[in-house]
């Protein structure tokens, strides 16, 4: 390893080191607050490390990693999301029955796993990253282990994730057997001359798709989502919705671009079917949910479907569109879950839709933030979600995928219905007279509110003036 390699991998190294450091701090019996603050500093440090990456990119660290614009962007996005999750976690875990300190170690490890996924260029690094992420999540999801829903969610996730990893491994083995390499770049060379896919490769890829489909929770591999979203502690849910899905999606793109899967019609048909099914079924299932976490779980299925609409055409606009949409989606999802976290009490999460009645008259600022996040998820102008949807539709229509564009539009009308339902709830009812209860942690409550307000302003800013972000991502290409 040369000095250049080290500097290129610096964000990952900082994350790995932070996990160890925090473990040491815990051993020295520091308080929750000091551990939270030091982990916040370390997240900031690793986020800054993303910016010191030297050009020229792409930079290959053979055979495992490749660092290019897209991976840097995704790494930054993932670390940023973890940073936000870290901030809102204090409020959530302080005062809960479990000691919250080890939580931060796991958070660093999961983030590391997500970042490894974005830079991996090889089956081994893909699998290692995925397992670091997933194993950390098993513990995070079941963190409040005395609670019924947490344990249920943890076990469900454990069984299904292990199961899907097995599929993934078997698929990789078959592909390796056919091509004799596990490096993406080497696969590109081997497949370049093949007119049609070899059957073993196709089988292997199918198995891999099942594994990845489980992690992304696209239809028909979505069954676990709602239960896990509901059961996990809310900051962890936010983490699953952003980091875990973003990382896996990034590696899926890289792999697919490497084998240039767009040439093969059978593969595309499968993906198109998955995209359409995810958009329609995700939105349909969300319609009747009374629990906000479950509702957001189903809506995340639909959003993954939207992302596939940008991905399937595989044209010059795809990667920028996906990057933009992911950025908007991350900010929005974090904001929404952040609000749920802030409002949650010691015993129960604020997850029932009826709890949100008259929120606008009781907490106008929080309600405005929440409405903005929901409107952005619904893709209404003035928010980042609208520009994101515009980008995705452009990518789809540019190559003439009319059916996908139409399904996207019609299913997002369905989506609108349930987002509006929440917003209507926020505004319905009367102000409760005794709304001024004392906050247990006024300082962290204030900090979390400010962070979420800043995120909201970011969503609005990107929605009104997207040129800045667009210029950054416009030329992202893989290879």
Partner 1 sequence: MILVWLIGLLMGGGLLAFLVGQWNKTLPRWISLYTLIIGIIALISFWIEHYEAINIGSMEPWLIDFQQDWIPSFGISFHLAIDGLSLLLLILTFFLGILAILCSWKEITEHHGFYHFNLLWILAGISGVFMAMDLFLFYFFWEIMLIPMYFLIGIWGSKNREYAAYKFFIFTQASGLLMFISILALYFTHAQSTGRYTFDYFALLGTVMAPQTAFWLMMGFMIAFAVKLPLVPFHTWLPDAHSEAPTAGSLILAGLLLKTGAYGILRFVLPLFPEVAKTFAPWAMLLGVIGIIYGAILAFSQTDLKRLIAYTSVSHMGFVILGIFAFNELALQGVVMQLLTHAISTGALFIMAGMLKERLHTRQLDEMGGLWFQMPKMGAIAVLFAMAALGLPGLGNFVAEFLILLGAFKSSVWLTVPATIGLIFSAIYSLRMIQKVFLGPIPETAPISDFSWREVFIMAVLTISIIWLGLYPQPIINTARPMINQIEHLFPTEFKNQTIK
Q: Which residues bind partner 1 (CB under 8 A)?
A: 361, 364, 375, 380-382, 386, 390, 393-394, 397-398, 405-406, 409-410, 412-413, 416-417, 420, 424, 427-428, 465-467, 470-471, 474
* Rg of the chain in Å (alpha carbons): 21
Structure tokens at 193: 């001359």
Question: Residue 85 CB, nearest distance to partner 1 (Å)?
Answer: 29
Which residue's CB is nearer to partner 1, number 22 or number 317? 317
Compute the distance between CA of residue 478 and CA of residue 246 in angstroms, rounded to an integer: 16
Preceding peptide of 6 cis, ω within 30°: no
Residue 327 has which token pair? Answer: 């950025």
Which residue, 88 or 359, has its beta carbon nearer to partner 1? Answer: 359
CB of 337 to partner 1, least distance (A): 23
Q: Which is nearer to partner 1, 122 or 389 (CB)?
A: 389
Considering the complex, what minimum distance in angstroms separates the CB of residue 307 from partner 1? 18
Q: Residues 6 or more apart from 203 whose CB is under 8 A from it?
A: 171, 174
CB of 390 to partner 1, least distance (A): 8
Task: Please give the Cα distance from 171 to 176 (Å, whole number).
Answer: 9
Taking the complex as a whole, the smallest distance from the CB of residue 416 to partner 1 amounts, in Å, to 6
Other Cβ atoms closer than 10 A to 299: 24
Burial class (CB in 10 A: 0-12, 13-18, 19+), 280: middle
φ, ψ for residue 350, nearest 5 deg? -85, 85
Q: Which is nearer to partner 1, 131 or 474 (CB)?
A: 474
Q: Is 66 helix (H, G, I), strand (E, B) or coil?
A: strand
Nearer to partner 1, 227 or 474 (CB): 474
We find the least distance from the C-beta atom of residue 213 to partner 1, in angstroms, to be 27
In terms of Cβ atoms closer than 10 Å to its own Cβ (0-12, 13-18, 19+), residue 138 is: middle
Nearer to partner 1, 211 or 466 (CB): 466
Q: How far is the CB of 392 from partner 1 (least distance, A)?
A: 11
Helix (H) or strand (E) holding 67: strand 65-67
* 348/424 with CB nearer partner 1: 424
Question: Nearest-CA neighbor of 295 among 307, 283, 281, 277?
Answer: 283
Q: Which is nearer to partner 1, 244 or 412 (CB)?
A: 412
User: With contact defined as beta carbons under 8 Å apart, do 64 and 428 qualify?
Assistant: no
Closest approach, Cβ 409 to partner 1, in A, equals 4
């Amino acid at each position: 390893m040369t000095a250049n390699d080290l500097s290129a991998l610096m964000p990952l190294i900082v994350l790995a080191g932070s996990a160890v450091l925090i473990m040491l701090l815990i051993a020295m019996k520091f308080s929750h607050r000091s551990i939270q603050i030091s982990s916040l500093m370390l997240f900031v440090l690793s986020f800054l490390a993303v910016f010191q990456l030297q050009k020229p990119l792409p930079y290959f660290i053979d055979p495992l990693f490749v660092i290019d614009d897209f991976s840097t962007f995704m790494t930054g996005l993932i670390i940023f999301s973890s940073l936000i999750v870290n901030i809102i976690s204090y409020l959530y875990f302080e005062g809960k029955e479990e000691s919250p300190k080890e939580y931060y170690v796991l958070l660093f490890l999961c983030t590391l796993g997500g970042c490894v996924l974005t830079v991996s260029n090889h089956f081994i690094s893909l699998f290692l990253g995925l397992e670091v992420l997933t194993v950390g999540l098993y513990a995070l999801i079941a963190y409040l282990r005395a609670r019924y829903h947490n344990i249920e969610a943890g076990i469900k996730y454990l069984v299904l994730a292990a199961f899907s990893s097995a599929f993934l491994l078997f698929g990789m083995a078959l592909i390796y057997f056919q091509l004799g390499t596990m490096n993406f770049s080497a696969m590109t060379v081997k497949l370049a001359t093949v007119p049609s896919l070899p059957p073993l490769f196709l089988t292997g890829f199918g198995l891999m798709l099942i594994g990845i489909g489980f992690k992304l929770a696209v239809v028909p591999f979505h069954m676990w989502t709602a239960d896990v979203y509901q059961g996990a502690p809310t900051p962890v849910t936010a983490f699953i919705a952003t980091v875990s899905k973003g990382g896996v999606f990034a590696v899926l793109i890289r792999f697919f671009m490497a084998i240039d899967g767009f040439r093969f019609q059978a593969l595309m048909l499968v993906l198109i079917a998955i995209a359409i099914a995810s958009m329609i079924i995700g939105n349909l299932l969300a319609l009747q949910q009374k629990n906000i976490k479950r509702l957001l779980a189903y809506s995340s299925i639909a959003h993954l479907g939207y992302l596939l609409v940008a991905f399937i055409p595989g044209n010059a606009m795809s990667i920028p569109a996906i990057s933009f949409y992911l950025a908007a989606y991350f900010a929005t999802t974090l904001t929404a879950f952040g609000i749920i976290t802030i409002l949650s009490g010691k015993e129960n999460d604020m997850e029932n839709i009826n709890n949100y009645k008259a929120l606008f008259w009781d907490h106008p600022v929080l309600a405005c933030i929440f409405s903005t996040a929901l409107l952005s998820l619904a893709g209404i102008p003035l928010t980042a979600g609208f520009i994101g949807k515009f980008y995705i539709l452009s990518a789809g229509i540019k190559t003439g995928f009319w059916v996908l564009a139409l399904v996207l539009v019609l299913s997002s009308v369905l989506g609108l219905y349930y987002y509006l339902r929440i917003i209507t709830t926020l505004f319905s009812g009367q102000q409760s007279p005794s709304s001024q209860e004392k906050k247990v942690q006024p300082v962290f409550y204030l900090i979390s509110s400010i962070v979420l307000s800043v995120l909201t302003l970011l969503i609005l800013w990107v929605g009104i003036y997207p040129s800045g972000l667009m210029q950054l991502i416009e030329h992202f290409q893989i290879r």
